[in-house]
Amino acid sequence: MSQTKKSYSERSKTHPAAIGRRLLAIMAAKQSNLCISVDLTSPSQILALIDELGPKVCLVKTHIDIITFTTPDSITAFTTSLQSLATHHNFLIFEDRKFADIGSTVQHQYRGGIYRIASWAHITNAHAIPGEGIIQGLRAVAHEHPDVDRGLLMLGEMSSKGSLGGGEYLAKTVAMARGYADFVVGFIAQGAVERAGEGEDFVVMTPGVKLERGGDGLGQQYNTPDDVVGERGSDVIIVGRGIIKAQDPVEEAEKYRRAGWEAYERRLAN
Ligand code: 5FU
């Protein structure tokens, strides 16, 4: 059976990565394939918005390095509060770090520095351009946290105009990830990726989503939830400005949650 025809609930029992099973179970339980991208710079505003939107989402995406922190302690306070919100509202945390270096360097970047991403983010992502050492390096750091589940998304195709990803690049990225199914949960891409067999399951997440198609004047390209989930077989819609810049972000998030979920239900039914 094609992966796009399987329910999130069914896949939550068989996905090869523990964090993949957990994410799919949350999606099924909350009837949400919505990931909110909270691209604001004030820590308190971010946390307040996440507290409001938490019930509607399966995943919260951060860019920790765009946030204005005044002290190292304020970073820890932020990530601790974020983890509490994740537990309280039952969502996972995805740090959109886009690692892109050799295995040895990304280990330091994932584990250390001022952000210590591996200590609080359930999921992060990486470019395939350096080769599979990047996956091996990140996975070794994840294994330093045996008490918590960690996962990686490989970037196979970006949403922006002129992206060098997709096509053959995406296919090579998928091939590279195949040996690491317990850690690579899936891909950032614009639609479902080819599976080699029934045992494989990739959670595909798609940024560049709005209720109306268009762009932002800086290369971002938007498709609708129905385009990406219904037509192209992606699993999770990643939405930033479509929600956070709306007059009523909670009401808008509900529109996206419903649109994403209905597109998924239609996909299963057709
Ligand atoms: F990998 C990607 C990509 O291909 N496109 C993206 O837009 C990531 N993103 C991120 O998703 C980007 O860095 C933003 O954080 C978010 C999209 O935000 P928007 O406000 O919905 O355009």
Mode of pairing for the β-strands spanning 123-127 and 151-155: parallel
Among positive and negative, which fits the CA dihedral 91, 57, 77, 111?
positive
214: left (phi over 0), alpha (psi -120 to 50) or beta: left
ipTM value for the complex:
0.99
Q: Check pocket membership of 208 for ligand 1, CB cut-off 6 A.
A: yes
98 given a catalytic annotation: yes
Burial class (CB in 10 A: 0-12, 13-18, 19+), 168: exposed
Can you give the C-alpha Rg of the chain in angstroms? 17
* pTM, entire model: 0.98
CA 37 / ligand 1 centre spacing (Å):
8
Q: Check pocket membership of 79 for ligand 1, CB cut-off 6 A.
A: no
Integer Cα distance of 169 and 171 in angstroms: 5
Residues 6+ apart with CB under 8 A from 83: 93, 120
Cα–Cα distances in Å, from 38 out to 44, 81, 111, 146? Answer: 12, 15, 23, 28
Average pLDDT (27-51) is 98
Question: CA 99 from chain center: how many Å?
Answer: 14
**pLDDT tens sequence across 238-269:** 999 999 999 999 999 999 999 999 999 999 99
Integer Cα distance of 58 and 157 in angstroms: 22
CA 91 / ligand 1 centre spacing (Å):
19
203, 220 Cβ separation under 8 angstroms:
no
**pLDDT tens sequence across 103-154:** 999 999 999 999 999 999 999 999 999 999 999 999 999 999 888 999 999 9
Residues 6+ apart with CB under 8 A from 204: 186, 187, 188, 189, 191, 192, 193, 233, 234, 235, 236
Give the pLDDT of residue 194.
Answer: 83
CA 189 / ligand 1 centre spacing (Å):
11
**pLDDT tens sequence across 195-225:** 777 789 999 999 999 999 999 999 999 999 9
Catalytic residue among 5, 30, 98, 245: 98
Q: Check pocket membership of 239 for ligand 1, CB cut-off 6 A.
A: yes
**pLDDT tens sequence across 54-96:** 999 999 999 999 999 999 999 999 999 999 999 999 999 999 9
Q: Check pocket membership of 127 for ligand 1, CB cut-off 6 A.
A: no
- Closest ligand 1 atom to residue 241 Cα is 20
Ligand 1, atom 11, lies closest to the CA of: 207
E-strand stretches of 135-258: 151-155, 184-188, 203-206, 214-215, 221-222, 236-239
Q: Check pocket membership of 260 for ligand 1, CB cut-off 6 A.
A: no
CA 1 / ligand 1 centre spacing (Å):
31
Instruction: State which H helix or E strand residue 136 sits in.
Output: helix 133-142
